[in-house]
Amino acid sequence: MSGFQVTTLGQFIIERQSEIPGVKGEFSRLLRDIGIAAKIISREVNKAGLAEILGETGNENVQGEDVKKLDIIANTLMIDCLSKGGECCAVASEEDEHIIPITTPQAKDAKYVVMMDPLDGSSNIDVNVSIGTIFSIFERVTPLGSTPTEADFFQPGNKCLAAGYMIYGTSTMLVYTTGNGVNGFTLDPSIGEFCLSHPNIVTPKTGKIYSVNEGNKADFPAGLNTYIDWCQQIDKDTNRPYSSRYIGSMVADVHRNLLKGGIFIYPMTTKKPKGKLRLLYECNPMAFIIEQAGGRATNGYGKRILDLVPTELHERSPILMGSEEMVLQLEGMLERETQAQ
Ligand code: P6P
């Protein structure tokens, strides 16, 4: 016996394929293609410091943000892997203003579309802070064989078939759900395989970590400042306040809170009335994962993130997500102070 007891991502995808109603080999092959892209992006991210590809291209993306070379590399790699695999007919990416139809002959009849943030948190690349890729898979709603349209992407998150993220940190992990729980895989570079390291991730019902950019405090809705003040009171059980943890990289912040318990908040502010994070390829996929792990994800004003119906490709939404009791507590404060106004 070789002692090789781990389950690889490829084995896991095949083993669990039968759990997802109505999907067959195409879906599994699409997940495999994303796993391949993850390995290549991980290689590029981990050599960034050496390959002089740090720094900016001098270009701006559709969001008006400086685009780092790695953003472009990750975006291109994901699209190339999805194109080669032939199971995806179109992609919506944070890096591209419009949807990207995949024009290979096989893709024409593909059933699925992918929404992605190819490299989230990229402002952290040059300071060696963990960054990530966020993806989700939906079934197209336009007729098979026709040219994909934005209608294929304006689906609420509750129609999502799979959502996941890669986090390029001290190790590279891929965490995803297909609606049957959340599982985490750690890349073993020595064999080039993602190995099941965090089976059936369940997030704690409460926690002691709150994650929000308090630099925007003057701009927060009233109830949020009440909540932050409450978090900072001496806790009767442990005699210490909650911990504030915010690294400015959504994947890293949400991943930590997913495992340890906590709340991640990107609220509406007077300057950003719909918040900053994008609904299609940041809020929805992360909300699907959080809910599948037993947590809660809303826009702070009574709407479940996954029930929001998108009308623009790059629209934004305020988001509170993480441990259910913490999210409910903050929602209560927001509601009370909104009504009091
Ligand atoms: P702020 C990174 O640019 C990002 O999109 C997310 O990864 C992160 O959570 C957020 O923006 C940070 O935004 O305004 O706090 O710097």
pLDDT bucket at 4, cuts 50 / 70 / 90: low
Q: Given CA atoms 179, 184, 189, 191 in this order, what sign does their dihedral have?
A: negative
The Cα diameter of the chain in Å comes to 68
SS3 256: helix
Query: Where do the structural domains in the chain lie, given as residue ranges?
Result: 9-198, 209-340
CATH number of this structure's domain 209-340 = 3.40.190.80
- On the question of pLDDT at 124 being above 90, the answer is no
Give the residue, by CA position, lying nearest to ligand 1 atom 4.
Answer: 121
Atom of ligand 1 nearest to the CA of 264: 9
211 lines ligand 1 (CB under 6 A): no
Mean pLDDT comparison of 56-65, 69-78, 95-104, 231-240, highest-scoring range: 95-104
Q: How far is the CA of 168 from the centre of ligand 1 (A)?
A: 16
Q: Please tell me if the CB atom of residue 276 comes closer than 6 angstroms to any atom of ligand 1.
A: yes
Protein residue with its CA nearest to atom 5 in ligand 1: 121
The second-level CATH assignment, the architecture, of 9-198 is 2-Layer Sandwich (3.30)
- Decide: 329 and 224 in contact? Cβ < 8 Å: no
What is the average per-residue pLDDT within 21-48?
89
Number of neighbours of residue 311 by Cβ within 10 angstroms: 9
CB 249 within 8 A of CB 126: no
Q: Mean pLDDT for the chain?
A: 92
Paired tokens of 99? 């949807």
Q: Is the pLDDT of residue 53 over 80?
A: no
**Which of the listed residues 247, 254, 266, 321 should we mutate to test ligand 1's pocket, taking the one with most ligand atoms within 8 A of CB?**
266
For residue 235, the 8-state DSSP code is: P
Compute the average pLDDT of residues 54-58. Answer: 56
Query: What digits encode the pLDDT tens for the residues 197-252?
Result: 999 999 999 999 999 999 999 999 989 999 999 999 877 776 667 999 999 999 99
What token pair was written down for 340?
A: 């009091």
Q: What is the DSSP letter of 145?
A: T
